[in-house]
Amino acid sequence: MLNEFLSATLLIILVTDPFGNVPLAVGVLQNVAPERRRRVVLRECLFAYLILLLFMFGGGTFLELMRLSEVSLSIAGGVILFLIALRMVFPSSEGVFGGAPEGEPMIVPLAIPAIAGPSALATVMLMVSREPHRIWLWIGAVTCAMLLVTAVLASAERIQRLVGERGLRAFERLMGLVLTAMAVEMLLGGIREFVRHLGQH
Q: Which pLDDT band, with edges at 50, 70 and 90, does 97 fall under? A: very low
What's the whole-number mean pLDDT along residues 1-17? 92
* Apex 144 CA angle, 106 and 69, nearest 5: 80
Structurally, how many domains does the chain consist of?
1
Look at residue 194 in the predicted model and tell me its pLDDT: 86
Query: DSSP letters of 131-182?
Result: -GGGHHHHHHHHHHHHHHHHHHHHTHHHHHHHHHHHHHHHHHHHHHHHHHHH
Q: Which pLDDT band, with edges at 50, 70 and 90, does 74 fall under? A: confident
Amino acid in position 90: F
83 vs 34, higher pLDDT:
34
SS3 98: coil
Q: What is the pLDDT of residues 158-200, one digit of tens each?
A: 999 998 888 888 887 888 888 888 788 888 888 888 888 888 7
What is the pTM (predicted TM-score) of this model? 0.79
- What b/e readout covers 47-71, taking b as 16+ CB neighbours within 10 angstroms? bbbebbbebbeebeeebeeeeeebb
Domain assignment of residue 44, given as a range: 2-200
Q: What is the pLDDT of residues 26-45, one digit of tens each?
A: 888 888 888 999 999 999 99
161 vs 63, higher pLDDT:
161
